[in-house]
Structure 1
Amino acid sequence: MPELRVGERQWSVAAGSNLLDALNQNGMHVPYSCRAGSCHACLVQCIKGEVSDRRPDALSAEQRQQGWRLACQCEVVDDLHVAVFDPLRDGLPATVEAADWLSASVLRLRLQPERPLRYQAGQHLVLWAGSVARPYSLASLPQEDRFLEFHLDCRLPGEFSDAARLLKIGDPIRLGELRGGALHYDPDWQTQPLWLLAAGTGLAPLFGVLREALRQDHQGPIRVIHLAHDASEHYLAKPLAALAAHRPNLSIELLTAAELTAALAQLRLVSRQTLALLCGHPDSVDAFARRLYLAGLPRNQLLADVFVPRG
C-alpha cells in the first residue's frame, strides 16, 4: 500500500485512493468546493512522488512544475509526500475594506490586498476566511478601482458564505490562486456586437468586462441581460442604468426566472459577428447557449464560465 506523508505525519492508503479524501479522512482539513477541478480550493503541493491526475490541464505549466496539484482530481498510486496549501503561509494577506448588502441575498465584499494584485476583468480568486475557502469572480476593474470587489450569493447556506456574513471592516482575509477563465475583453472586438448574459452573481465578472469594454470605448452595440430569481435581486440595476444613460450603444435588460422562457423565444441575432459572454449557474448558462446556437451564433463566438455548485 502507498505511504502518504504530510509534514511529520505518515500513513498507509489504498492504491487508487482519491487524494482529497485520503487527506481529509486523516484530519488534514483540505478545503474543497466543486470536486470537479474548477474551483482550485483543494490545491496541494507534491514534494516527492507523483499522482495519477485526471485534470492536468486545470493548472498552468508553471504551477505543475512547482508540484501543485488539485487533490480532488488525483489518485494516490505510489508513495507520496505532499504539503497542503496553507493560507497563512501561501496566501496573499488582505483586509476587509467594506462589507455591505446589494440585495437580500448578495453580499458585496471589498478587499484591500497587502500588495497590489495584477489581474484582468473576468478573472477570479480563491478567498480564504480562516480555514474555509471558496472561489469568487472579481467584479472590480484594476485600472479604476483601488480595491478588489466580489459579489457573494448568500441565498443558500454554505461554509464560506456563512463565514462571510460575519466579516467586518478591518478583518483579515487571505487570497489564494488567481485564475483566468473564458471571460475577458479583447480590443479586437471594438466594432462587433457584444452580448453579456448573466444569471445571479454571474453578473459580477461581466460587470467588470462591461466596464473594461466601455473604458476602451467599444464602438459596437452592447447588450446586457441579467437573469434573477425575482425583481428584487437585480442587484446592479442602478449602476447599470447609470452606465447606459451615458452610452447610447449600451442596452440593459432585466429578466426574472418567470420571464426567461418568453424572453429566450424572442432572442434574435442582429449580426453574425455577435460575440456572447455568459456566466452563472450551469442550467442558466446552458439555456442561454442553446438559444443562441439556435439563433445562429457560431460556437466559437460564445465564451462561458459556469459557477459550479458545491459538491
Structure 2
Amino acid sequence: MPELRVGDRRWSVTPGTNLLDALNDAGMSVPYSCRAGSCHACMVRCVIGEPLDAAPEALDSERRGQGWRLSCQCQVAGDLAVEVFDPLRDGLPATVVGADWLSPSVLRLRLNPERPLRYRVGQHLLLWTENGVARPYSLASVPGDDPFLEFHIDCLRSGAFADVARTLKNGDPIRLGELQGGALRYDPDWQDRPLLLLAAGTGLAPLWGVLREALRQDHQGDIRVLHLARDAQEHYLTGPLSELAARHSNLSVESIEGSGFAAVLGELRVTSRQTIALVCGSPTSVEAFSKRLFITGLPRGQVLSDEFVERG
C-alpha cells in the first residue's frame, strides 16, 4: 500500500483514498470548508510524489509549480510526502482594525494586512485564527476605496471560527491565506445593462463590494438589490444601502424576510434579457433564486453565483 508522510509521521493508506481524509484521519487537522475545490482551505504542498488530482485547474500555474495541491480533490496513488499549509510560515500577517456588530448575528471584521494585498471585488480570502482554524470569506471591501479588508461574519451559530471571531478586538493578530477568484465580479462592459443583485444573509457581503464598484465606475443601467434575511433585524446594511439609493436614481433596494420569500420569488421578473444577475448566499437560496431567473427566461450565462457553505 502507498505510504503517506508528513514530517516524521509515516503511515500506509489504501490506494485511491482521498488525501484530505487520509491526513485528517491521521490527526493532521487540515482545515476545509467546501470540499469542492473552491475555498482552498485544504491546500497542502507535495514535496515527494504526486497524487491523482481531479481539479488541476483550480490552482494557478505558479502555485502548482510550487507543489501546492487541494487535498480535497486528490487521491493517494503512490508514496507521497506532503507539507501542510502553515499560516505562521505561509500566511500573510494582518491586524484587526475593526470588529463591530452590524446586526445581532453579523460581525463586521476589518483587517489591515502587513503588506498591501491586490484583489478585486467578489474574491474570497482564507482567514486563519491564532489557534489554527481557517475559513474562507468573501471580501466586502473595494480596492482603492477602502483602506482595510472587510468581511461580514455570520455568528448566529456556534462554530470553530465564529466562536473566535466573537472575541476579536482591535489590535488582535490574524493570518491571511489563499486569495481566490470567486464567481462574482463587476465588468465595465456591463455598464449599460441592468444589474440584479440577489443576496441571502451575509451573501450580501461580496455584492456590497460589487455594487459600490459598479457605482464608482458610473454604471448607467438600472441596479436592483434584493436582500433576504431571517428577520427585520438581520437586514444589516439597510442604512448604507438606502443612502446609496438616495444618491443614485438607477438604484433600488428591497428587503425580504424569510416568511415572505416565496411570494417575492414568485413575482420576480427581469425587465430585459440583457440583465446580468449576481446571486450569493446559502445553497438553498442560490438555487431558488437561480431557478426562478431561468424560468423567467434569463440565459444561464448571465447568472453568476457563489454559494456559502455553513461550517462555523
**Which TM-score band applies after superposition, normalised by the shorter structure?**
over 0.9
One-letter amino acid of the counterpart of residue 106, structure 2: V
CA distance in 2, matches of 1:27, 1:293: 44
CA distance in 1, matches of 2:293, 2:206: 20
CA distance in 1, matches of 2:310, 2:16: 26
Matched, 1:126 2:118: no
Q: Give 1:25 shift.
A: 2.3
CA distance in 2, matches of 1:84, 1:289: 37
Query: Who is 1:250 aligned against?
Result: 251
CA distance in 2, matches of 1:301, 1:23: 39
One-letter amino acid of the counterpart of residue 194, structure 2: P
Q: Give 1:288 shift.
A: 0.6
Contact in 2 for aligned 1:107/1:151 (Cα 8 Å): yes
Q: Give 1:54 shift.
A: 2.2
Could you give the per-residue CA deviations for residues 164-206 of structure 1, whole angstroms, max 9, x where no partner exists? 1111110100000001111100001111001100000000000
Stretches of 4+ moved more than 6 A in 1? Answer: none
Query: Who is 1:300 aligned against?
Result: 301
Q: How does 1:263-274 map to 2 (within 5 A)?
A: 263-274=264-275
CA distance in 1, matches of 2:260, 2:208: 22
Query: Who is 1:204 aligned against?
Result: 205
Q: Which moved more, 1:117-126 or 1:48-57?
A: 48-57
Matched, 1:46 2:46: yes
Matched, 1:286 2:294: no
TM-score (norm 1): 0.97
Label 1:93 to 1:127 Cα distance change in 2 as closer, same or farther (>3 A).
same
Could you give the per-residue CA deviations for residues 128-166 of structure 1, whole angstroms, max 9, x where no partner exists? 002000000000011110000000011111111111111
Secondary structure of residue in 2 paired with 1:5: strand
CA distance in 2, matches of 1:53, 1:120: 28
State the Cα RMSD in Å.
1.2
One-letter amino acid of the counterpart of residue 210, structure 1: L
CA distance in 2, matches of 1:300, 1:14: 41
CA distance in 2, matches of 1:278, 1:42: 25
Q: Give 1:39 shift.
A: 1.6
Q: Give 1:282 shift.
A: 0.8
Contact in 2 for aligned 1:38/1:308 (Cα 8 Å): no
CA distance in 2, matches of 1:93, 1:121: 21
Q: Give 1:35 shift.
A: 2.1
CA distance in 2, matches of 1:260, 1:32: 31
One-letter amino acid of the counterpart of residue 66, structure 2: Q
CA distance in 2, matches of 1:124, 1:137: 4
Could you give the per-residue CA deviations for residues 98-135 of structure 1, whole angstroms, max 9, x where no partner exists? 11110011011000000000000100100000200000
One-letter amino acid of the counterpart of residue 22, structure 1: A
Query: Who is 2:5 aligned against?
Result: 5
Contact in 1 for aligned 2:39/2:180 (Cα 8 Å): no
Unaligned runs of 5+ in 2: none
One-letter amino acid of the counterpart of residue 299, structure 1: R
Q: Give 1:303 shift.
A: 0.7
Query: Who is 1:149 aligned against?
Result: 150
Could you give the per-residue CA deviations for residues 228-275 of structure 1, whole angstroms, max 9, x where no partner exists? 011110000001001111000000000011111111111122111111
CA distance in 1, matches of 2:40, 2:271: 38
CA distance in 2, matches of 1:33, 1:303: 21
Q: Give 1:27 shift.
A: 2.6
Number of equivalences: 311
Q: Give 1:55 shift.
A: 2.2
Query: Who is 2:80 aligned against?
Result: 80
Matched, 1:55 2:55: yes
Query: Who is 1:28 aligned against?
Result: 28
CA distance in 1, matches of 2:231, 2:144: 33
Secondary structure of residue in 2 paired with 1:17: coil
One-letter amino acid of the counterpart of residue 300, structure 2: R
Contact in 1 for aligned 2:227/2:254 (Cα 8 Å): yes
One-letter amino acid of the counterpart of residue 268, structure 2: L
Q: How does 1:88-127 map to 2 (within 5 A)?
A: 88-127=88-127
Could you give the per-residue CA deviations for residues 63-96 of structure 1, whole angstroms, max 9, x where no partner exists? 2222111112211110101111000000000000
Could you give the per-residue CA deviations for residues 17-59 of structure 1, whole angstroms, max 9, x where no partner exists? 2211221222322112222222211110111101012222322
TM-score (norm 2): 0.97
Unaligned runs of 5+ in 1: none
Query: Who is 1:183 aligned against?
Result: 184
CA distance in 2, matches of 1:68, 1:179: 14
One-letter amino acid of the counterpart of residue 58, structure 2: A
